Amino acid sequence: MSPGLDRAALDALIARPRLQRVLAALDAPGEETRLVGGAVRDALLGRRVADVDLATTLLPDEVVRRVAEAGLKPVPTGISHGTVTVVAEGEPFEVTTLREDIETDGRHAVVRFGRDFARDAERRDFTINALSADPAGGLHDTVGGIPDLAAGRVRFIGAAAQRIREDYLRVLRFFRFHARYGRGAMDPEGLAASIAAREGLGLLSRERVRGELLKLLVAPRAAEVAAILSGTGLLQRLIGGIGDLGRLGRLCGREDAPDAVRRLGALAVLAPPDADRLREGLRLSKAEHARLAAYADAAASLHGAPAPLDVAAIRRQVARFGVQAVSDAVLVLAGEPTPVLTDPAARALAAFTAGDAQAPAFPLTGAGLVSRGIRPGPGLGRALAAARAAWLAEGCPEDAAARERLAAIALATA
C-alpha cells in the first residue's frame, strides 16, 4: 500500500453491515462481486463515502433473483445497461454487471456484458477511478491507480485522446477531478488532449456541462483550475464569456462552505444580462437563474451605493433584492472598493442571513389601502409606489407610526 492511503478506512467500508448483506446475497460459485470506483478511491483517501457501487460477473436478471431471495429490494434502474439498484434497509447500492465497449460516438457507448474485471477497468476514465476491492478486502489495481492516487495525479487510462473520443464529457471531468483530487500540475498528456478535443464539447448537452461545471466550482482547487480553463480558452466555451478569476479566487478564500451557484456568479456574472446568458448556455434551473439574476441586480446596486453603508442602507438593499442576493453580493464583492459596510450594518446583514432577524416587509397592501378609501386602478398603483419609495428612503421602518405615515402618503398621492 502506498504511503498516505488509508487501508483501515477501506476495511471499515467493506465491513458495513448493509453492504455485507448485499455481498452475501451476490456470493455464488464461479461468480465475483467487487466494490468499484469512487467508493474505493475515497475510502483510501480517508474521505466520507456516501454511495457504494458494485461490479459483478452476475447477469442483471440473476442479480435481481438473488437479492430478492435474500429479502433485499431490487430496483431495475438501468437493467438494460446492466445496472440494478439493491436497497438494503433503506440504503441503495448500484450493482452493475461487468461491461465491455463495442462502439462509442463521443456521447454514448454500445456495450456488452463481460466477466473480466481488468477489461471493465480499462473502459473507465481515470486510473484513480478504476480501483476495485473484493469482499475479503483484496485491493485490485490493473491500471496504476494506487500510485496515482497517492501522488495526487489525475491521469487517463491508456491514451488520453482515445478516452476523450469515447465521451467528450471526460474533458470536463478531467478538470473537475484535478480540482478535487489533484496536487501539483495537471497531467500534460491529458491537458493537451483536452485542449485538442475542445470542439467535442459542442456535442454535449448543456445539462451535462452544467452538472460538471457546478461540481468543479465547489472542489478545493476550483479557482486554480478555473484559471487553467481560462488560459486554454475552454472556460469561455463553457460560460459564454470572460470569467472574473480574481473574484472567484477571493470568494473561494473566504467562504465558510463552498456554494456552487454563488461561485458561478462570482466567476461569470458581471452584469444582469449575464444571468440570462448562463440560463440558456447551461440550462440553469429556474431557482438558479433567479438567484443569479437577483445577485447581479444587488451587486450593481451595491457598487453604485455611497460608502459606507449603514443599517438603513442594508435594510433597503435587503428589501429590494432579498437576503440571499445581498448576502451573496457582499461576500463576492468584499475586498473591492465598494461596498463598504459599517460594523452595525455588517451585523444586521449577518442577522438576516442567519435567520436571526426577519427581512424588512413593506407594511402596506393594496387591500388595506382600498379599505381606507382608495379605489382600485392606476391610482392605487401610484399610491403604493409612492409609499414604498418613502418607506425605502426611511430605511424600511415597520412600526405602527411608520405604517400610518406611509398610508397618509399613499392617500395624498391617490
What pLDDT, on a 0 to 100 scale, did the predictor assign at position 227?
97
d(CA 211, CA 219): 13
What pLDDT, on a 0 to 100 scale, did the predictor assign at position 104?
57
Kindly tell me if the per-residue pLDDT of 108 is higher than 80.
no
What pLDDT, on a 0 to 100 scale, did the predictor assign at position 240?
93
Query: Lowest-confidence range among 170-174, 346-350, 396-400?
Result: 396-400
Q: Cα angle vertex 331, ends 319, 175, to 5°?
A: 130
> What residue segments make up the domains of the chain, in order of their start?
7-151, 366-413
What pLDDT, on a 0 to 100 scale, did the predictor assign at position 79?
84
Percent with pLDDT over 70 in the chain = 97
- In contact, 172 and 195? CB cutoff 8 Å: no
Average pLDDT over all residues of the chain = 93
Strand segments, DSSP code E, in 98-235 are 99-104, 109-113, 132-133, 139-140
Q: Cα angle vertex 278, ends 277, 279, to 5°?
A: 90
* pLDDT tens-digit map of 225-256: 999 999 999 999 999 999 999 999 999 999 99
Confidence band, pLDDT 50/70/90 cuts, at residue 373: confident
Kindly tell me if the per-residue pLDDT of 176 is higher than 60.
yes
Fold of 7-151: Beta Polymerase; domain 2 (3.30.460)
Q: Extract the C-alpha cell encoding 410.
A: 399613499
Which residue type occupies 370? Answer: V
Could you please report the per-residue DSSP string of 347-404? HHHHHHHHTSSPPP-----HHHHHHTTPPSSHHHHHHHHHHHHHHHHTT---SHHHHH
What pLDDT, on a 0 to 100 scale, did the predictor assign at position 222?
98
The residues, ordered by sequence, that sit 6+ positions from 141 with a Cβ below 8 Å of its Cβ are 130, 131
The residues, ordered by sequence, that sit 6+ positions from 114 with a Cβ below 8 Å of its Cβ are 98, 99, 100, 120
Kindly tell me if the per-residue pLDDT of 107 is higher than 60.
no
- Is the alpha carbon torsion for 347, 351, 356, 359 positive or negative? positive
What pLDDT, on a 0 to 100 scale, did the predictor assign at position 414?
75
* pLDDT tens-digit map of 113-153: 889 999 999 999 999 999 999 999 999 999 999 999 999 99
Q: Please state the rounded mean pLDDT for residues 266-274.
A: 95
